[in-house]
Amino acid sequence: MNIEFTPMADADTVAAALAALACYIEPSTPAAAEPPAEPQPAWRSAGLLAAQGLPPTRRAPSVGWAAAERVRREAGWSFGIVGL
């Protein structure tokens, strides 16, 4: 395979092309470049989401009559003969 450059490239152009290839080929390590961020408190994250008009990430369980009925049924539940 033979590659010909019509206008002959000067040394600066060749050096720039080789530097670009070296940057492209070498593995990048962005995690090592900057320290990991400290976790934010939950109230701060919730405030940031609320300021952007987004819903909270973890929704509280909705309390309704179905949940109250389930709690009432659980209170009367027994193990039967096994629980003796």
| CB contact at 8 A, 43 and 51 | no
pLDDT of residue 32: 60
Angle at 16 between CA 4 and CA 1, to 5 degrees: 25
43 alpha-carbon distance from chain centroid = 18
CA distance 44 to 56: 12
User: What letter represents residue 35's amino acid?
Assistant: P
Q: Which of 6-20, 41-55, 68-82 is the least confident region?
A: 68-82
Angle at 9 between CA 3 and CA 14, to 5 degrees: 90
What's the pTM? 0.28
